[in-house]
Amino acid sequence: MNANTRRSVNRLLPSGAIFDAPKKKIELAKLEEVINDPDFWSQPEKSQKVMQDRKRLEEAVAQSGQVSAATDDLDTLFELAKEGEDVLGDIEQGMKGYASLLGKLEAAMLLSNENDHLNAIVTIHPGAGGTESQDWAEMLLRMYLRWAERNDYKTVVTDRLEGDGAGIKSATFEVNGPNAYGLLQAEIGVHRLVRISPFDANARRHTSFASVFVFPQIDDEIKIDIKEGDLRIDTFRAGGAGGQHVNMTDSAVRITHFPTGIVVQCQNERSQHKNRDSAMKQLRAKLYEFELEKKRAESRKTEDTKLQINFGSQIRSYVLAPYRMIKDHRTKLSIGDVDRVLDGDMESLMHAFLVWRKTGKTAGEGGDDLDD
C-alpha cells in the first residue's frame, strides 16, 4: 500500500466536528412531535416549512451514517492491505467517494449564513451589445436551469422577455430547494463572455456582458411592511413566441414600488391573480435584500451588485476563443472544461466561492490572466 495513499485518507477522516448527529436526531424527534399534532396541517405554509426542516435534518442524519459506513469500509480495507491483500484499487475508489461525501458536508457547513437555506429568485440582464449580449444572457439562463435540474431543484420562470432576433432582454426565475440562495450567491455580479460571434459574418471575436442578481425568497415569518399607497400595479398582455398558446388577456402584472424604485413583473401564469401573487413575492424578496444591502454596505467584501455591466467589473470570465477557459476573478479558480460548466456543472465554482466568502482564501492563481 502506498504511504501517500494512507496519508491522504487520514486527511479525509472526520474529526467529529463535521456534524453532530445526536443533536440532529433530537431536533428531528421534536419535529416529529409537531408533525403528529392533529392541527399540524391547518396552517399549510407553516407545515411546509416544518416538512422542509425535517427533510434537511433527515439528510444530515443519513449523511452521518454514510460517513460512518465509509470510514468502517476504509478501515477494513487498510487491515486487509496490512495482511498483504491487493486492495489498493478498492482503497483508491473508496477515497474518491469519501472525498465527494465530505465535500458535500463541508459545503453544508459553509452555508451557515442566516438566509443561505432559503429558496432563491434570480434575475438576468444582458449588458450593452444588442443581440450578442442577449444571446449570452440566454446562455446563462440555460446554465442555471441545467444546474438546478442536475441538483433536483424545482424552477419556475416567472418572467422572460425575448430579445430582438436572439437571446433574452431579461429573465426572472425561482429556484426552490435546500440552500438554493446560499449556493446561487456565487453568481451575483457581472459575467463576461469572449467568443467568435455566431452573429458576425466576418467571424470576429466579441466580448459580451450580462449581470446576475440573486435574492432570498423570504418566508412569511419575516415581516416586510409594504403599503398599498406605495405601489403602482399595471396589467398588460403577456408576450411570447406566438402560436396557439399566446395569452390574449391582460393577465401579466407589473408592480412598481415608489419609495425604492424597485420594479417587478410576472407573466408566466394565465391567471392575473397568480401573477400578482408571484410579483408580490419577488417584491418582498427584493425589498428584504434592499434593506440588508444598506446594513452591510460598510462591510461588503465585493462590489458585485453595484458594478456597471462592462469591462473591468466582471466577477467571472468565460473565454471560448482563442483558447477555452473559465476563471472566477474572486476565487482565482480556473476551469478548462467550459462546456461542462455551461451545461450546469457549477459545483466547483460555487464551492470555491463559499470557501472564499468564509475564509478569504482563494483557489490559487492558476490559468491564464483572461484580461486581454
Full-prediction pTM beyond 0.85?
no
Domain boundaries, the chain: 3-110, 119-218+301-359, 228-295
Phi-psi region of 243 (alpha: psi -120 to 50; beta: other; left: phi over 0): left
pLDDT band for 49, please (50, 70, 90 cuts).
confident
Q: What Å distances lie between residue 318 and 75, 194, 337, CA to CA?
A: 43, 6, 11
Give the up-direction half-sphere exposure of residue 250: CA atoms within 13 A in the CB hemisphere.
5
What are the phi and psi torsion angles at 32 (to 5°)? Answer: -60, -35
321 is written with which cell numbers? 476563443
Q: What was the pLDDT predicted at 96? A: 86
Number of residues written out for the chain: 372
Are residues 350 and 344 in contact, defined by beta-carbon separation less than 8 angstroms?
no
Residue 126 phi, psi dihedral angles, 5° rounding: -75, 155
Q: Say which amino acid occupies 4.
A: N
More confident residue, 295 or 161: 161
User: Quick one: CATH architecture of 119-218+301-359?
Assistant: 2-Layer Sandwich (3.30)
Give the distance from CA 348 to its chain's centroid.
12
Q: pLDDT tens digits for 136-193?
A: 999 999 999 999 999 999 999 999 999 988 999 999 999 999 899 999 999 999 999 9
| In contact, 368 and 334? CB cutoff 8 Å | yes
- Provide the phi-psi class of 242: left if phi over 0, else alpha when psi is between -120 and 50, else beta: left
- Give per-residue burial for 31-63: e unless 16+ CB within 10 Å, then b: beeeeeeeeeeeeeeebeeeebbbebbeebbeb
Return the CATH number of the domain spanning residue range 228-295: 3.30.160.20
State the pLDDT at residue 308.
Answer: 53
Lowest mean pLDDT among 81-85, 136-140, 357-361: 357-361
- Topology, domain 3-110: Methane Monooxygenase Hydroxylase; Chain G, domain 1 (1.20.58)
CB 254 within 8 A of CB 264: yes
State residue 219's pLDDT score: 65
**Of the candidate ranges 84-88, 203-207, 290-294, 309-313, the one whose mean pLDDT is the lowest:** 309-313
